[in-house]
Chain A
Amino acid sequence: MLQLRQVDYRIKSQDILKNISFDTIKGELIAVVGANGAGKSTLMKLISQEYLPTQGKIAWKGTPFAKATIKQMAYERAILTQNIHMSQDFPVEEVVLMGRYPHFKHRPGKYDWEVVQKVSEQTGIQPLAKRNYASLSGGEKQRVQLARALAQLHQQTGTTISKLLLLDEPLNNLDIRYQHRCLQLTKGFARNGNVVLLVIHDLNLAALYADKILLLNQGQLEAYGTPKEVLTEQCLNKCYQFSVKVATHPYHHCPVVYFGDFDKVSCQSSIHQPQTII
């Protein structure tokens, strides 16, 4: 489906991303992980066509991005970026409806409103529909934006056009329950024959939900594969420069990652012990 071949991205001869190649299969949820500055967001922006690769090719269903217009791509690709700031206030339902904008000309049809209703239910924002967007909390805003992205890619039952959903840190500001709900929802979306790529910091959530993990390290693709293949102590140690232990989840049997200084008994030193501040 999505195909990257030897993609480089350079700013003034400084490599931001180097030699990135990978393929995705229909139905997969892929978690993009890596330390700060590893190039996760840049990768997402390249796949969003916001940046053009310095070298290499990106293709969707065999068609290079260079040949597809942004309007054509809007039918098949939705993108949720970080920190969306709306310059003007709208009712929540109108913000979700914006996801349907590529699908109608001037006025929304009945089906568009049905989609808005449906994705609002899925993301649990239905009680907020008439509220003003500006009055929402950070987590609620995040869910509204997710609903908008889902509304954009929603397709009528019976049609099977594979679509691509890109989410840059979609779990920001969400509480534990909605973090899981969001991942369940996007995984369900992926399973319907679509592809989901999401940037995530919580490796344990990635291990739990992602079909594949794409680990970036200083602009290079360190590892790409199933959570078991990628989340190894050696690999994570190298990327995060921090002590790490990997165990197996007692119920789901996926890897569980523990970060911390394992030489000491506890990270929480006693409050009464005087510490030397460097």
Chain B
Amino acid sequence: MQRNSYILIVLSVIVLLSLVATSGMGAIHIGFSEWWQILLAKAGWVEEVPDAQKTAVLWVIRLPRVITSLLVGASLALCGAALQGLFRNPLADPSIIGISAGAAFSAALVIVLASSLLASGWWAGTLLSLVTFLGAVGSTFLVFALARQKHRTNVTMMLLAGIALNALASACTGVLIFVADDAQLRSITFWTLGSLGGANWTTVGLLALATGLATVFLFRLAKVFNALTLGEQEAKYIGMPIERLKVQVVILTALAIGTAVAFCGMIGFVGLVVPHVLRLIGGGNYRFLLPASVLAGALLLCWADTLARTVVAPAEIPIGVITALLGAPVFLIILYRQKNALN
């Protein structure tokens, strides 16, 4: 436990340093001291006005984007850990309860059917986000409703309903892709690979709210998640509110991931890999796993997004590609080392 506390402290420090470092990176470099000057000037604590262009770049573009990446990464990893706990399966991730499929379908629907509307107004992005959010939340609750019986939630049923709904939504998305023209197709592809390009202070605010709620409430359930590893019935025998946990996990995941997906598209791999790697490093205790997932998820997505926007600048690589390219080898190396350790 001592060691895990150190890991959490070190991770927190790295996250803060990364926030400063990555928001300074890009076509216009902003050094550490400049970064502080701009921030202090914005806060009104210093009179001296720093370079106007740099201020605009940092304040309007970089900071919202980096904070968005931290929040989305935290959400994805946290909800991944929570769902892995709920399903008692290390392979669970937010796509398993139908969130991604519902979001992808509704996004494709907007892109294909309302493309003329999308091109016409400023509210087009808002429409896409709103419909995607509703699609994500709606499909999750549909899966949840199917798994409810007599005030209880059947987790196996939820898993199966999630798989079935995923298949259905993917098929419907396939139909939309079939009727889409080239430009729409490109939009859909980019959306499914994710991007943080649309970040601004409004999205930061909404994401912070959703991530904050999920973090506060899920952290309080750490003990219940631990107990759940014994089995659902055993956890009830030690008085844990398992049914309440299920409802809370589904609602919070739908909210946090729904918001993340609505603004940033689908970003895979983070929810699956981050908790898994942390479990290998620090063990499965949720008192460690949940906060560590928040920090490590934030860290992974922050650096993934920095790579996405700097490697082929001024163009951008879809972030989903980076998370997989970055996450998968790390995951494989850890698995390989674990295999050797077992031998």
Contact = CB atoms under 8 A, between A and B. Distances in A.
Interface residues of B, number: 25
A152 B283 contact: no
A89 interface: yes
Nearest to B241: A71
Contacts of A107: 287
Contacts of B233: 48, 50, 81
Contacts of A84: 230-231, 234
26 contacts: A50-B233, A71-B241, A72-B239, A74-B239, A78-B237, A79-B234, A79-B237, A81-B233, A84-B234, A86-B229, A87-B229, A87-B231, A88-B90, A88-B229, A88-B279, A89-B284, A90-B229, A98-B230, A98-B238, A99-B238, A101-B223, A101-B238, A101-B239, A102-B240, A106-B222, A152-B238
Given A86-B230, A106-B220, A106-B223, A91 B238 contact: no
B244 to A, nearest CB: 11
Contacts of A88: 88, 90, 229, 279, 284
Contact of A87 (B88, B236, B241): B88
A78 to B, nearest CB: 7
A86 B228 CA distance: 9
B288 to A, nearest CB: 11
B12 interface: no
A101 B227 contact: yes
A222 interface: no
Which one of B220, B227, B229 has the highest number of Cβ atoms from chain A below 10 Å of its Cβ? B229
A89 B280 CA distance: 10
A110 interface: no
A247 to B, nearest CB: 39
Interface of A: 48, 50, 70-75, 77-79, 81, 84-91, 94-95, 98-99, 101-102, 106-107, 152
Contacts of B220: 106
Nearest to B219: A106
B284 A102 contact: no
B89 interface: yes
Contacts, number: 70
Which one of A72, A87, A94 has the highest number of Cβ atoms from chain B below 10 Å of its Cβ? A87
Contacts of A48: 233, 237
Given A81-B234, A88-B279, A98 B227 contact: yes
Given A70-B239, A71-B239, A101-B239, A89 B231 contact: no
A95 B236 CA distance: 15
Contacts of A79: 234, 237
Which one of B222, B231, B237 has the highest number of Cβ atoms from chain A below 10 Å of its Cβ? B237
A230 B180 CA distance: 79
Interface string B211-233: 00000000010110011111101
A74 B234 contact: no
Nearest to B236: A70
Contacts of B284: 88-90
Interface of B: 88-90, 220, 222-223, 226-231, 233-234, 236-241, 279, 283-285, 287
Please provide the 5 A-B residue pairs with the shortest distance between their CB atoms, ordered closest to farther. A74-B239, A87-B88, A88-B284, A102-B239, A71-B239
Nearest to B228: A87
A107 B288 CA distance: 12
Contacts of A50: 233
Nearest to B289: A88
Contacts of B223: 101, 106
B239 A75 contact: yes
A79 B239 CA distance: 11
A95 B234 CA distance: 12
Contacts of A89: 283-284
Contacts of B90: 88
Contacts of A72: 239
Given A72-B239, A74-B237, A88-B90, 15 more contacts: A70-B239, A74-B239, A78-B238, A81-B233, A81-B237, A84-B230, A84-B231, A86-B230, A87-B89, A87-B231, A88-B88, A98-B226, A98-B238, A102-B240, A106-B223
A165 B283 CA distance: 30
B238 A74 contact: yes
A208 to B, nearest CB: 28
Contacts of B230: 84, 86, 95, 98
Contacts of B227: 98, 101
Given A87-B89, A88-B284, A94 B226 contact: yes
A99 B88 CA distance: 19
B43 to A, nearest CB: 34
B239 A91 contact: no
Contacts of B279: 88
Contacts of B239: 70-75, 101-102
A99 B279 CA distance: 22
Contacts of A95: 230
A94 B234 contact: no
A273 to B, nearest CB: 48
Contacts of A102: 238-240
A75 B287 CA distance: 23
A182 B228 CA distance: 26
A101 B285 contact: no
Contacts of A75: 239
A21 to B, nearest CB: 24
Contact of A91 (B89, B222, B228, B283): B283
